[in-house]
Structure 1
Amino acid sequence: MGAARRMTCTMEAEDRRTLSPAMLGPLGFGSAPIGNLYQAMPDDEATATVEAAWQHGLRYFDTAPHYGFGLSEKRLGETLARIDPGQQAIVSTKVGRLLAPVPDADLSRPRQGFVSPEPVESCFDYSYDGVMRSWEASRERLRRERIDILYAHDLGEMTHGEDHAERLAEFLDGGYRAMRELRDSGAVDAIGLGVNETAICETVLGHADLDLILLAGRYTLLEQDALDGFLPLCAARNVCIVLGGPFNSGILATGAKGGDLHYNYAPAPPDIVARVAAIEAVCEAHGVPLPAAALQFPLAHAQIASVIPGTRTPGQICSATDLLAVPIPPDFWRELADRQLIRTDAPLPQNN
């Protein structure tokens, strides 16, 4: 059973909400930046950014305990409690990490990528008890009676290296059972993975019944290898995809002419810069903004329910919604395919 059938809660009739992939909307809000990702953000800026997302019609908000070590969940929960008292927003968070005290930490410096005032740090725990504890703590920080979607965070060899097999076994033997119980009881509507690689998704789908996957990158203007095995498997299992990182860490937003070019969380290698430059040339010939093409391309695939670009300010929220509405002529997509800049078997967006 997959997303369309599973994303339905089993609470009392007056609290029942049927959650379908379409309800996520094409554009979601990723809450890592309001957890002070890489740099500190004042509380009022974080609040204004969440408010802007709501005002521009975004109704799906994703967060995690890891983002600012609880700071992102606290800020998101506080703002949504005020602007969405009826809890109409769809909120996802993640399990697989618990927050442990670090009383001697230097809170002014980046820790695990976040500049957070919280005197804790995250540590991996995919056990049954760890997942249940994480879910309860997230509910408190988010100020919500229930959480709509629960993802297992950062499984896979890319993250865990030589500990990958041990962590995967811990999840399949314990954490997954906890997530399944939460879904089956109606405490959450849907469960899945929040990861950066497709291989772990295929592995877990061989053992688990998931509803959706939050995948960072891996199906973008620069990468379509997911068409070979991963996306067909998701279609066969009725698993929908929320695509994080549609700009591949920034280079599909800035273009190849920008200064500090990043791809996949690292400086962009020359071959990627050259490929982006070639895509940019086609964009310029057709009058298409590169970031508009990057946002719209993944959504043409039937399994992609929503994209979550990195947005740090109200202005970036406004820009993302505008880019999603930019009309892009069919000839643009055909030229990219003809020039082998995207795969010829990739579904193409329809003229909007």
Structure 2
Amino acid sequence: MTKKIAVLGAGSWGTALAMVLADNGHSVTLWGNKSELINDINEFHTNKRYLPEIELPHSLKATVELNEAVEDAKYILLVVPTKAIREVCQKLNPILKNKVTIIHASKGIEPDSSKRISEMISEEIDEKNLGSVVVLSGPSHAEEVALRHPTTVTSASANMEDARAVQELFSNGYFRVYTNEDVIGVEIGGALKNIIALAAGITDGLGYGDNAKAALMTRGLAEIIRLGKEMGANPQTFAGLTGMGDLIVTCTSVHSRNWRAGNLLGKGQSLDEVLENMGMVVEGVRTTKAAYQLAKQAKVEMPIVNELYAVLFEGKNPKLGVDALMNRDKRHEGESTSNFISDLTK
């Protein structure tokens, strides 16, 4: 059955997800705040800024008017940077006329408040306007989804009926959706893997090779699990698409903004130079600050996060950060993995 869906955020990921929904026969309106980009979508069915050479479905419409985008929409898909979540929700709240399901496909944690994205949405959208919040997350580069390459993600919500409804909205022959009720685990896995991808990019930029990256990804997953469990996540989630799966794709692909940013840092560029050269949001930078603060508050040991924080915000030389990790006190690997394995085999 055709649904009216508003997609807020006309970057690469928002546009790719709008394509999936349009391919599935839904009535989709894509909202963005850059008139030139919106005109490109409407007139030429392309998004040259973010997805060059991809022809968009002709049924996909775009607008710079938020009112027009969300009018009569049953579902609102939020695909904006984490730092813009509250601002967009504050603009959205007064113009909603009926309860809507808000799906978010962004990945991050808010510094200082340590809030996950679903928590920010729930704080900014009035209860009378908000039916449910559903998280859509997993190993999924926009560039590959736009080419309709096989992709699998997870739809997570405290209300499984809503998670299954979103699964139905998106699922097709190239985009497979699983469901999960562990919103905390799905959001934590999606956010923190960007930190490890930054670090993986640094090791590649330093020329350390595959051994270093494999170690970093494995130990990084252990840190994600430790913090996730402390926040109330189901450990099994981190063995799935939004944990291990997303970590693999983000740490190993040139499509990954976070890996590319880390790679430039490893090659000697400053953070300011990297962000200027990237020209797009690098979520892992902001999330590193949030995770560093959260780990301190929760007294969770996260040495990779600590060293990356020092590199990003205290000017530490990346090579010295790697040296510090390699020269930590000797440990037994089971100290950080035994509980995780036990949880997985229950």
TM-score for the superposition, normalised by structure 2: 0.33
Which of the two has greater helix per residue? 2
TM-score for the superposition, normalised by structure 1: 0.33
